[in-house]
Amino acid sequence: MIGRNDPCWCGSGQKYKKCHHDADVAAGKSVNSIPARNPMIKTPAEIVGMRKAGAFNGELMDYIRPFVKAGVSTEEINTLVHEYIVSHDAKPATLGYQGFPKSCCVSVNNIVCHGIPSPREILKNGDIVNVDLTSIVDGFHGDSSETFFVGNVSDDASRLVRVSGEALLRGIAAVKPGVTLASIASAIEPFVKSRGFSVVKQYTGHGIGRNFHEFMTVLHHIDREGSNLVLLPGMTFTIEPMINLGDYRVVTDRKDGWTVRTKDGSLSAQFEHTILVTENGCEALTLTPSQKTAGVLLKLP
C-alpha cells in the first residue's frame, strides 16, 4: 500500500502527502487500501495485450478503408466492421456500450462523433466521413479513427481533414516520459487555430486498457487549469482531436442521445490513435505497417 512519502499514484512526481492524500481522504477512501503502483501504468504483460489489440484495430481500419466510398450506406460499413471483428474472435467495444446500438461510429460531414450507422444514410461524392473503430482482443481495447474523402471534396473540406490529421501527428510527437499531459493540447490547439479552424472542447481522449475508458482525460485544447499529470512509461491513452471548420461548439441529438453535431452546421473531422508511452518517447499502437509505409495517417488523393 502507498505511504505518505511515496510518489503519488497519479504519476505527478510529487509525494503522495503533497498530492492526492487529502483528496483521497476527503473522498472517503481508505489510504490503507490505495495501491502504491500507479494503476495507469501497464505491466509488461498488459503492454503485450495492448499491442495485440492495437495491431488488430489497425488491421481492421485497413480492411474497411476501401469500402468507404460513394453509394455505400453507413449501415453497410457497420456490418462489415462487425463481421470482421467477430470472425477474428474479437468483440466490438461500442456495441451495447452505455446503450450504443452499433459496432462502430460513422460520422458524416457536420457530425462530430458518435454517428449511428443507418441504412438510410448513403455516402455521396463530396462527403467527408469519420469511421471510429474500437475492438476488444483478449480483454484489451484498441481504439482509432480516420476521416476519409468520398470522391472529390471541397477545398475547405480537404484542408480541414489534412489539418486534423496533422494535429494528431503533432499531439503524438509531444508525448514522451517526463512531460505533462497538457503538452498534447499545447501541440495541437495553436497549430489548429493558426490554420483558421477550432478544436472541440467537450470531447477528449481518454485512458484505455482492459476498460474502454480509464482514468485519464486527454484535452486537445489549452485549459488554464491544464493537467500536471506527468507521463510515464507504460501509460496508454487515446489522442483524438476533433477539428471544426467553424465554431468549436457542439450539440447532441435529443432523439437518439448520441449523435454529436457542430452547433453552426460546419464540417468536422477527426483522427485518433491509441498511444503507449515508452522509455524514449511513445508508440502508436493502432498504426499498422501499411499505414507506416504510406507515411501518413490516411491515404489522401
Residues 30 and 134 in one domain: no
Residues 15 and 4 in one domain: yes
Residues 129 and 85 in one domain: yes
Q: What is the pLDDT of residue 294?
A: 47
What is each CA distance from 80 to 9, 71, 203, in whole angstroms?
Answer: 41, 15, 27
Residues 194 and 243 in one domain: yes
Q: Give domain status of residue 167, yes or no.
A: yes
Q: Which domain holds residue 172?
A: 41-294
* pLDDT tens track, the chain, 301 positions: 677 887 777 666 678 888 888 888 887 777 676 665 677 899 899 999 999 999 999 999 999 999 999 999 999 999 999 999 999 999 999 999 999 999 999 999 999 999 999 999 999 999 999 999 999 999 999 999 999 999 999 999 999 999 999 999 999 999 999 999 999 999 999 999 999 999 999 999 999 999 999 989 999 999 977 688 889 999 999 999 999 999 999 999 999 999 999 999 999 999 999 999 999 999 999 997 766 654 444 444 3
Residues 54 and 123 in one domain: yes
Q: What is the pLDDT of residue 290?
A: 67
Residues 180 and 198 in one domain: yes
Residues 21 and 128 in one domain: no
H helices, E strands: number in the chain: 6, 15
Residues 200 and 259 in one domain: yes
**DSSP codes of every residue in 39-66:** TTBPPHHHHHHHHHHHHHHHHHHHHHGG
Q: How far apart are CA 164 and CA 242, in angstroms?
A: 7
Question: What's 208's domain CATH number?
Answer: 3.90.230.10
Residues 49 and 12 in one domain: no
Q: How far apart are CA 285 and CA 137, in angstroms?
A: 13
Strand-strand pairing, 242-244 and 282-284: unpaired
Residues 165 and 267 in one domain: yes
Question: Strand, helix or coil at 135?
Answer: strand
Q: Give domain status of residue 301, yes or no.
A: no
Residues 96 and 15 in one domain: no
Beta strands in 179-254 (DSSP E): 198-199, 205-207, 214-218, 236-239, 242-244, 250-252
Q: What is the pLDDT of residue 292?
A: 61
Q: How many domains is the chain partitioned into structurally?
A: 2
Residues 83 and 35 in one domain: no
Q: What is the pLDDT of residue 34?
A: 64
Prediction pTM value: 0.87
